[in-house]
């Protein structure tokens, strides 16, 4: 999983480094096949926020089973 996470991270970094217009619109289909248009800025913001949502779900589940979850705050990792 770590290797896959690193690959995804590198793809994000590559995209960000090669993009200078985050207001550009991307046309895409969601998992249901519905067509949508969103700016790169909105998509990247969604990715960050949605990841936070899932980290919260995991932390809640860990607490339910008696495990203290690790910190999920971004700032803690940016200080490394």
State pLDDT tens for residues 42-78: 999 998 889 889 999 999 999 999 999 998 888 888 8
DSSP 69: P
**Domain residue spans in the chain?**
20-78
pLDDT of residue 76: 85
Distance, in Å, from the CA atom of 47 to the CA atom of 49, rounded to the nearest integer, reads 6
Q: Which residues contact 27 (CB under 8 A, 6 or more apart)?
A: 35, 36, 37
Q: Which residues contact 55 (CB under 8 A, 6 or more apart)?
A: 72
Cβ atoms of 8 and 14 closer than 8 Å: no
**DSSP run (H or E) holding 76:** helix 74-78
pLDDT of residue 67: 97
State pLDDT tens for residues 4-40: 989 999 998 999 999 999 999 999 999 999 999 999 9
pTM of the model: 0.68
pLDDT at 80 over 80: no
């Amino acid at each position: 999983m770590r290797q896959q996470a690193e690959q995804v991270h590198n793809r994000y970094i590559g995209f960000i480094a090669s993009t200078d217009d985050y207001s550009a619109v991307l046309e895409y289909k969601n998992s249901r096949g519905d067509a949508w248009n969103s700016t790169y800025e909105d998509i990247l913001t969604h990715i960050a926020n949605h990841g936070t949502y899932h980290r919260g779900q995991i932390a809640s589940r860990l607490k339910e089973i008696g495990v203290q979850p690790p910190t999920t705050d971004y700032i803690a990792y940016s200080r490394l």
